[in-house]
Amino acid sequence: METLITLIQIAIGAALINNFVLHYFVGICPFLGVSRRIDTAFGMGCAVTFVISIAATLSWVFTYFILRPGAPLPAWIWQMAGGDASTQVNLSVLSYIVYIFVIAASVQFVEMYVRKFFPALYKSFGVFLPLITTNCAILFACLEIMKHLQDPMRLWALPEALTLAVGGGVGFTLAIVLMAGIREELDACDVPKPLRGPGIALIVAGILAMAFMGFAGVDRGIQSTLNAFLH
């Protein structure tokens, strides 16, 4: 039960309270670029969620078994080479290059898959699907997971990492769909000429971010409610 509460906390934290776009300001490029129509925005959100889940799973595997300090694989090889068991082999310098590699590869994979099976979605993404490769939201999720794999006493298992990734992806989808809804309505509004286009989009994004600040502290309330409910 404790695990479930932790997972719910992680999910809500990633989706609402510490929303990737509106709290950390990562993934702004597709957030502003593909938020003109709700259906395209929703497709983009789903693609990011999908890629983020794959990338997070792969990077958790690599980090847990190879990259983190005290990972099993390097330790085993170290001892096979006749090393001292008390010294740790630390490969965390490789984390960035491995994450970028994994993200780029999974985006390539998703692009080919979508192109084959969902041509309409592929068309509506246009140039933005390859741009997910350099989407900082995904690298951010990987680095966030790496942060929780540093301390050997409190290691994140795969479910936690995956929850963070899916929660972050859902939060991204929520933010971009909200933004697209507002921008669709904005087309019918009399926006002052100098603010049209990117100007008003950034202002709207800022107001949206302020609105999301209202979620701060919700996780503590949810935790106490769940605890009271369970015990």
Partner 1 sequence: MLTTVTMLLAAGVLGLLAVIVAYVLGWANYTFHVKVDPKIVAITDALPGANCGGCGYVGCGEYAEAVAAGRAELNLCAPGGSGCAEKLAQIMGVEVGQSLPYRAVVHCAARRDQRLGQTVYLGEPTCVAANLVGGVQGCTYGCLGLGDCVAACPYDAIHIVDGLSTVDYDKCVGCKNCARVCPRNIITMVPFKAERMLVVACSNKDFGPEVKEVCEVGCIGCKACSKNAELMSIENNLPIIDYDAYESEEQFAKAREKCPRESMILVGKPSPKDLAAVAGEKLPDRVEADFKTTVDDTEWRG
Which of 94, 204, 208, 222 touches partner 1 (CB under 8 A)?
A: 94
Single residue of 4, 39, 72, 87 touching partner 1 by CB under 8 A: 87
Q: Output the smallest distance, CB 112 to partner 1, in A.
A: 4
DSSP 34: S
Which part of the chain contacts partner 1 (CB under 8 A), choosing from 2-10, 98-106, 155-163, 174-182? Answer: 98-106
Q: What string of DSSP letters covers 50-92?
A: HHHHHHHHHHHHHIIIIISTT-HHHHHHHHHTT--TTSPP--G
In the complex, the smallest distance separating the C-beta of residue 126 from partner 1, rounded to whole angstroms, is 4
The site that binds partner 1 (CB under 8 A) totals a number of residues, namely 28
Per DSSP, the three-state class of 174 is: helix
Q: What's the Rg (C-alpha) of the chain?
A: 20
Mention every residue, 6+ apart, whose C-beta is less than 8 A from residue 161.
56, 57, 60, 145, 148
Q: Are the C-beta atoms of residues 161 and 29 closer than 8 Å to each other?
A: no
Which tokens sit at 202? 């950034």
Interface residue with partner 1 among 89, 136, 177, 204 (CB under 8 A) is 89
Name every residue whose Cβ is closer than 8 Å to that of residue 167 and which is 6 or more positions away in sequence: 10, 11, 12, 13, 14, 15
Residue closer to partner 1 by CB (options 97, 228) is 97
Q: Which is nearer to partner 1, 17 or 102 (CB)?
A: 102
Q: Which is nearer to partner 1, 154 or 193 (CB)?
A: 193
Which positions touch partner 1 (CB under 8 A)? Answer: 62, 66, 74, 77-78, 81, 83, 87, 89-91, 93-94, 97-98, 101-102, 105, 108-109, 112-113, 115-117, 119, 126-127
